[in-house]
């Protein structure tokens, strides 16, 4: 069950007049936004548990070609302002929530862009993961999601002996198909009084390994209450 606020109609048509087996209609772009968030939030949580990633990608500029057919313009065909999108599980419980100041879909690049995105994922055991940034960008098929500027992911703790785990970086880049999260920007992982910092990192979910790159510094809370370096 899904609910979008406000509701939008996807008017894109699909031509099935060709030989061969029928092709399933493409999902509406706002449906893909839900699928992207549901797929990536677990990866972002894993990044917070180990460290995470970000690869700075510049947005392709509009093309001004020579005389002839006009080049596609980089302008949104759909927008949503002050929106909230929610996805519920089969039991009716809230599983994923996406909020943002403004969402734009660009047909020329088939990308989704969100200003001030705020993600909330609730696991089956009730554990909550929060993610936010100043901007989020996803490609059309949801195979890559990027968080830009003041990206933060927080996994709520389960008690006094399990404080919240927080990950911060200026850039996060998650790859769903290969299950990796990368960052070429400084990263900081904090839990209680313990903190790990690195210049960059790559997390591989398939091998359950994290590669911290560049200068790495760690501060760990000792059992006696002091801090070890």
Share of the chain above pLDDT 90, in %: 10
Q: Give the tokens for residue 134.
A: 């100043």
Rounded CA-CA distance 100/86 in Å is 12
Beta carbons within 8 Å of 131's beta carbon, 6+ residues apart:
41, 44, 117, 118, 119, 121, 147, 151, 152, 153, 154
Checking DSSP bridges between strand 194-204 and strand 135-138, what pairing results, if any?
unpaired
Among the ranges given (2-6, 119-123, 176-180, 212-216), the one the predictor scored with the smallest mean pLDDT: 2-6
Domains of the chain: 27-57+75-228 (2.60.450.10)
Among the ranges given (27-36, 53-62, 72-81, 134-143), the one the predictor scored with the smallest mean pLDDT: 53-62
> Whole-model pTM above 0.75?
no
- Residue 185 has what pLDDT? 94
Whether 211 contacts 202, CB under 8 Å = yes
Rounded CA-CA distance 156/148 in Å is 22
Quote the mean pLDDT of the chain: 71
């Amino acid at each position: 069950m899904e609910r979008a606020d406000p509701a939008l109609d996807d008017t894109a048509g699909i031509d099935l007049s060709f030989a061969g087996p029928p092709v399933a209609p493409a999902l509406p772009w706002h449906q893909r936004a839900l699928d992207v968030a549901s797929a990536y939030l677990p990866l972002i949580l894993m990044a917070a548990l180990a460290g995470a990633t970000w690869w700075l990608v510049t947005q392709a500029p509009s093309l001004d070609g020579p005389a002839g057919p006009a080049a596609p313009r980089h302008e949104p065909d759909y927008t949503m302002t002050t929106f909230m999108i929610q996805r519920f599980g089969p039991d009716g419980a809230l599983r994923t929530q996406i909020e943002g100041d403004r969402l734009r879909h660009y047909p020329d690049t088939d990308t989704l862009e969100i200003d001030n995105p705020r993600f909330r994922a609730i696991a089956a055991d009730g554990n909550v993961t929060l993610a936010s940034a100043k901007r989020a960008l996803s490609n059309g098929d949801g195979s890559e999601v990027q968080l830009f500027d003041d990206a933060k992911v927080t996994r709520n703790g389960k008690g006094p002996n399990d404080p919240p785990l927080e990950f911060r970086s200026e850039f996060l880049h998650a790859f769903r198909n290969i299950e990796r999260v990368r960052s070429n920007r400084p990263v900081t992982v904090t839990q209680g009084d313990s903190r790990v910092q690195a210049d960059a990192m790559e997390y591989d979910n398939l091998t359950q390994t994290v590669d911290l790159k560049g200068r790495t510094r760690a501060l760990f809370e000792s059992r006696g209450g002091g801090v070890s370096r």
